[in-house]
Structure 1
Amino acid sequence: MSLLNVNDVSYSYDGIVNVLLDVSFTVEEGAIVGLVGPNGSGKSTLIRNVFDLVALQSGSIQIGGHGHDRPEAKQLAMYLSSNDYLPEFLTAREYISMMGKLFHLDVDHDQALDLFRKFSMEGRYDDLIEDYSHGMRKKTQLVSSLVMSRPLTVVDETLNGIDLEALHLAEKEFRAIRSEGRSVLLCTHDFSVLERLADRILFLDLGHVVYDAPTKDLVDEHGSVASMVFDYLETAQR
């Protein structure tokens, strides 16, 4: 069953620069879908459309069968952005409590504390976020998404800046999300992560869907996800 449906979405800035052109794809329940593409391909704009952070100009987007701008849809999905902008005046406990209120959840702080320990941040849960390093802030974003446990989690380059041990743990947690029937849309330039995790790859370039296929099929055809991307880009530049 489809959890996220994006149908014929186009978007332009100031009616001049076309960023997305008739983009359509789905994310099924219990799936990890990789989103790749060069800078300027429309990935972040696509995600902003999904989360109603920019006004939809054409097409339709549904989350869990609800229009993406409906409160019911917004309760089903969580967005982890590429930056590490978190409220520095809060502790991690306060931040995760605030996120719980947004999703109308009773936060399991014991789970959060355990995840802080696993992510090598034991003893820092009640420290101010302003005292966290870049990597700690990224890991706090990941912990918050794991505690919120939404049906759909969209990760936009959030894995950048975390250490290898934390990356390994994040991959393990994403696999657990999939096994529980929830889904991840994972936007990253780390193609090896996608080869290990993603069921499907969605490749955007210049606002178009270039590939939307099972990861295994793309790797069988091109040798690797990286080769698929770079072969296409070399051909497109000719």
Structure 2
Amino acid sequence: MPVLEAQGVTYSYDGFVTVLEEVGFTVDAGQVVGLLGPNGSGKSTLIKTVFDLLSLQAGSIIVGGHEHASPAAKSQAMYLASNDYLPQFLTGREYVEMLGRLYGVDVDDGTADQLFETFSMSGRYDDLIEDYSHGMRKKTQLVSALLMRRPLTIIDETLNGIDIEALHLTEKELGRLRDEGRSVVLCTHDFALLERLADRILFLDHGVLVADATTSSLVAQHGSLAAMVFGHLDAESHRP
């Protein structure tokens, strides 16, 4: 059974501007799937619809065998947003423990503290989030996802703003999630990262799913993911 299945997802703002049009795909257990597309292609709208942050207007979304808006579905998946908006009045420990209660995860403080240290935040686990830098907040989001270890984690540009060492560590940790049979949808413009890590690529443009194929087949066909994306955009810009 796929961990995520979308069929015919269509979304319009104000009933006029269509940002998703009949989008359908599946994410199987134990897969890392890259989500690509230019700004305004509908990526964030799609992700927010999966998590019921935007009401589904047409089509269907199933998460872990459950209708996406149900509590059972929401317990299966974790969303890491592109922004770094975290509750500033909490410490890192309190934030992690809050997520643990929401997801029913008994967080091991030793493991959490070790992850903070691994991500170059040694001694900051009990500091207020308001005292964290932008990069530290991003890394706190990532550490939280690694601690919750949901069947499905969707990352929307969260890797922007973190240092190179943390990016390298994140790549390894996401690979471990896959090895455990968990799935990750990674929305990023880091083509090289996706070529190394992603099993499949979803490419959205103007709300339409342009490509849904294995990373290896797309690289073999186009030479690189960058060549695929920019080639498509150049072709679109020359259409009458």
* Alignment deviations for residues 71-126 of structure 1 (CA, whole Å, 9 cap, x no partner): 10000000000000001111000000111111122111111111011101110000
Aligned mates of 1:222, 1:122 — CA distance in 2: 43
- For 1:15, the equivalent position in structure 2 comes to 15
Q: Does 1:121 align with 2:121?
A: yes
- For 2:140, the equivalent position in structure 1 comes to 140
* Alignment deviations for residues 136-178 of structure 1 (CA, whole Å, 9 cap, x no partner): 0000000000001100000000000000100000000000000
The alignment's C-alpha RMSD in Å is: 0.5
**Hey, which bits of structure 1, 4+ residues long, moved more than 6 A?**
none
Aligned mates of 2:100, 2:21 — CA distance in 1: 35
Aligned mates of 1:227, 1:115 — CA distance in 2: 36
Matches within 5 A, 1:37-76: 37-76=37-76
Q: Does 1:207 align with 2:207?
A: yes
Report the AA paired with residue 40 of structure 2.
Answer: G
Which secondary structure does the structure 2 equivalent of 1:150 belong to? coil
Q: Shift of the alpha carbon at 1:13?
A: 0.4
Q: Does 1:88 align with 2:88?
A: yes
- For 2:27, the equivalent position in structure 1 comes to 27
Report the AA paired with residue 106 of structure 2.
Answer: D
- For 1:165, the equivalent position in structure 2 comes to 165
Aligned mates of 1:180, 1:104 — CA distance in 2: 19
Aligned mates of 2:207, 2:151 — CA distance in 1: 26
Aligned mates of 1:208, 1:108 — CA distance in 2: 42
- For 2:97, the equivalent position in structure 1 comes to 97
Q: Shift of the alpha carbon at 1:130?
A: 0.6
Aligned mates of 1:103, 1:174 — CA distance in 2: 19
Q: Shift of the alpha carbon at 1:207?
A: 0.3
Aligned mates of 1:55, 1:215 — CA distance in 2: 31
Percent identity between matched residues is: 66
Structure 2 spans left out of the alignment, 5+ residues: none
- For 1:179, the equivalent position in structure 2 comes to 179
Which secondary structure does the structure 1 equivalent of 2:153 belong to? strand
Aligned mates of 1:184, 1:197 — CA distance in 2: 10
Q: What is the TM-score normalised by the length of structure 1?
A: 0.99
Aligned mates of 2:34, 2:104 — CA distance in 1: 29
Which secondary structure does the structure 1 equivalent of 2:3 belong to? strand
- For 1:150, the equivalent position in structure 2 comes to 150
Aligned mates of 1:200, 1:16 — CA distance in 2: 32
Which secondary structure does the structure 2 equivalent of 1:143 belong to? helix
Structure 1 spans left out of the alignment, 5+ residues: none
Equivalent pairs counted in the alignment come to 238
Which secondary structure does the structure 1 equivalent of 2:165 belong to? helix
- For 2:224, the equivalent position in structure 1 comes to 224
Which secondary structure does the structure 1 equivalent of 2:130 belong to? helix
Aligned mates of 2:74, 2:108 — CA distance in 1: 21
Which secondary structure does the structure 2 equivalent of 1:2 belong to? coil
Q: Does 1:77 align with 2:70?
A: no
- For 1:5, the equivalent position in structure 2 comes to 5
* Alignment deviations for residues 26-78 of structure 1 (CA, whole Å, 9 cap, x no partner): 10000000000000000000000000001100000000110001110000000
